[in-house]
Chains A and B, each alone.
Chain A
Amino acid sequence: MQWTSAQVAQLLKLAESGLLDAHQLKAAADIAPLLPARRDWVGTLDRILGFGGVLLIGAAVIFFFAYNWDELHRFTKIGLAVAALAATAGTAMVVTPFGLAYRAALFGACVTTGALLALIGQTYQTGADMWALFAGWAALMTPFAALSRSSASWALWLIVLNAALLRALSQSLWFPLFGLLSHASSLFAIAGLNLAVLILLEYGLARMLITPTRHLQRLAAIGVFAPLVSGAIIGWWDDRLADLAWAFYCAAAGAIVVYYRLRRDLPILALALYGAIAVTTAAFVVKVQVESFIALNLVGLLVIAASGGAGMWLTRLYRESRSQ
């Protein structure tokens, strides 16, 4: 029986790490060649040549229209974008429902919806704010994402929704990117949006997916923790963000209880634990006045002890979950 590509990769990695010697690697090669099987090559080349060919021809069409863009009438431009949207949606209607082609076509429809909105905004100079474009995109792609029942389409939806909120929050400020972090309410709003999505996913929405993976929950969890951790760290220096530290600790404690006791999810647990280490380290730096040789070493040792403990505990949980 052939080795799978993943097994060959593992074998070569073990040999390169010195865990298998040359004789053992040769013995493994005697069982079956340490190369991708013929079916792996055929399957991969089939996908790469097919996808690559379509991608290059698609790029050629875009380049061609870009060459003639100034000469095109605005109706033609809009017509091209509508035709692309119709082609992707039409493909989804004729292929096997919920298959790879179906999900890929509807993902394409989600992307093309945004391109169409951007083109309308550019052609007719609607004057709409950027956040309105993203919000409209998220709203209009929702039916496609719901029909596709794929993680990829819903992940794009969540990212676009976050982009809409980020743009809406930053537009009211004089210095958008850095200004955003100076308002606790903005960071609470981003974390709150993602928390709402996470709760919806945990209580039923994820059942809509064809393949029940937990990518979306983890993406939403990153959306909850990223603003809270960054805000909490800055909050030790800036009093305006001080409340975020306590909000973060509450969220981290809640995540540890839920994702350790109720619904075991190690990546989210790791996110909460390592976020807590980062926020606590920042607190030490501010409160202990880290300037001396001893204080710097103390903080370094604190990070080593906390991260080492968290790493060992998470590795043990990971191995337990694998052996079950």
Chain B
Amino acid sequence: MKANAPTPLFSLLARLKAGGVVSHDELAGLAAHAPPPWWLATLQALAAWLASLFLLSAFYVPVLMIGDSPVARGLGGLVLAAVAIYLFRREGVFVGQVALAFSLAAQALVVSALAGDFIHLETDHRVVAAFGALLALIMMIPRSTPTHRSACALVALVFGLIASFAAERAAIQASALCACSVGLWLTRTHWAGKPYGVYLKAIANATSLLALPAAWLLPAFSGSRFVIDPIFRSLAGSVSGMSYWVFTLCIGALVVATVFHLTRELPLQARCVALAGALAMAFAARFTPGLIFAASLFLAAFQACHRPWAGAALLCAVLYLGEFYYNLQVTLLVKASALAACGLLLLGLRQYLLSQTRTDVPT
């Protein structure tokens, strides 16, 4: 919250103008789009959701009083969606958040029109989920805010996973989610300026948001402490131990592939050391694949200069470490050995890095 620190945006714009990348008029336009500080945006978002709550209540009550039928809900949802699309044409954090609330409420109403009673579904849940995913994808198309597109991508992904979920495929689905997240961040510079970049950014955000808990949940469901809990026993029992090993192998391959991609311009020796390090890390941390995924996501997000996801990956790594304590697959002694091996490996890699930078000519 450095309220009086110089903003990097203005120094960047000055450099863009000096380099002839933007004209004087474009510079003024870009400066006008400078986002508010995060603390102000957060407070405005909270106020916007509060206002939306009242406005949506004012809308829902008469709709439900006229007749709580699928047709009424569907029409109500369409009206709300139209209002949301109109609001997205206006600038500002506050209006954007109100429109986001309207859009999500609209999607919920339209999906509920198809589903009927959510407790006793009249339509097959996979059809409802597929319809919800399609609706969310459609809502991504009109002009809107990055937050709205990311929210829609998240809704579409969650519904898509529900529509296609099968216990025996869970490891493949979770691995694909993780790979998609890392792959998108690694290639960010290639798609950022393209017309479809806005959609890929939303998908990158959504996959990262889902992949981080997936990297914890899948191993947990695959035969550790959740098996003890009767609530989760039926689901955990349906996810075999094989899923755990498939996921661990895929995530191990992902970290090696990430390092392979990032080190492609390094000398052969340094590249071999980095790849060997990644491989050793994947083996030593095989009991906690979340740690391996966090490392991959951190590297990809750092390469993409996306600090929030790089920070989130590190934070999740610490959380995975805490969760690893309660893992029932191996004893605390084995866990201690694995962690010590990982720690020594990281310190060894650091020593190698420092020895290389000492001998290198600064660039």
Q: Which residues of A contact B (CB under 8 A)?
A: 4-12, 14-22, 24-29, 31, 34-36, 38-39, 41-42, 44-46, 48-50, 52-61, 63-64, 66-67, 213-215, 218, 264-267, 270-271, 274, 277-278, 281, 290, 293, 296-297, 299-301, 303-304, 306-308, 310-311, 314-315, 318-319, 321-322
Contact = CB atoms under 8 A, between A and B. Distances in A.
Contacts of B4: 321-322
B325 A12 contact: no
A67 B19 CA distance: 61
Contacts of B62: 293
Contact of B8 (A7, A44, A213, A293): A7
Contacts of A46: 350, 353-354
Contacts of A24: 16, 21-22, 193
Nearest to A321: B4
Given A53-B344, A56-B321, 9 more contacts: A6-B8, A16-B198, A54-B347, A57-B340, A58-B343, A218-B1, A267-B39, A277-B47, A322-B10
A48 B298 contact: yes
A322 B7 CA distance: 7
Given A53-B344, A267-B39, A307 B2 contact: no
Contacts of B188: 12
B296 to A, nearest CB: 13
Contact of B192 (A15, A218, A266): A15
A6 to B, nearest CB: 5
Contacts of B19: 27-28, 31
7 contacts: A8-B305, A26-B193, A31-B19, A66-B325, A270-B39, A274-B47, A311-B47
Interface in B1-51: 1-4, 6-12, 15-16, 19-22, 29-30, 33-34, 36-37, 39-40, 43-44, 46-48, 50-51
Contacts, number: 229
Contacts of B349: 49
B48 A307 contact: yes
Interface of B: 1-4, 6-12, 15-16, 19-22, 29-30, 33-34, 36-37, 39-40, 43-44, 46-48, 50-55, 57-58, 61-62, 92-94, 98, 146, 188-189, 192-194, 197-198, 201, 298, 302-307, 314, 317-318, 321, 325, 331-333, 335-340, 342-347, 349-350, 353-354, 357, 362-363
Given A31-B21, A45-B353, A63-B339, A57 B344 contact: yes
A111 to B, nearest CB: 14
Nearest to A217: B1
Given A267-B1, A304-B51, A63 B332 contact: yes
A56 B342 contact: yes
Contact of A304 (B22, B40, B94): B94
A318 B3 CA distance: 7
Contacts of A41: 302
Nearest to A10: B12
Contacts of A53: 343-347, 350
Contact of B21 (A28, A44, A215, A306): A28
A246 to B, nearest CB: 22
Contacts of A304: 48, 51, 94, 98
Contacts of A7: 8, 11-12, 15
A36 B305 contact: yes
Contacts of A50: 346-347, 350
Contacts of B339: 56-57, 59-60, 63
Contact of A311 (B6, B93, B146): B93
Nearest to B36: A315
A15 B193 contact: yes
B3 A9 contact: no
Which 7 A-B residue pairings sit nearest by Cβ, starting from the closest?
Answer: A56-B343, A300-B54, A307-B47, A25-B193, A57-B343, A296-B58, A53-B346
A321 to B, nearest CB: 6
B343 A54 contact: yes
A215 B1 contact: yes
A28 B26 CA distance: 15
A218 B39 CA distance: 11
Nearest to B18: A31
Please indicate which of the listed interface residues A56, A278, A306 has the most CB atoms of chain B within 10 Å of its own CB. Answer: A56
Contact of A300 (B55, B93, B298, B344): B55
Nearest to A44: B302
Contacts of B10: 322
Contact of B336 (A10, A64, A267): A64
A46 B356 CA distance: 12
B337 A60 contact: yes
A27 B353 contact: no
A248 B55 CA distance: 27
A266 B41 CA distance: 13
From A16, A18, A267, name the one whose CB has the most chain B CB atoms within 10 angstroms: A16
Nearest to A2: B363
A252 to B, nearest CB: 14
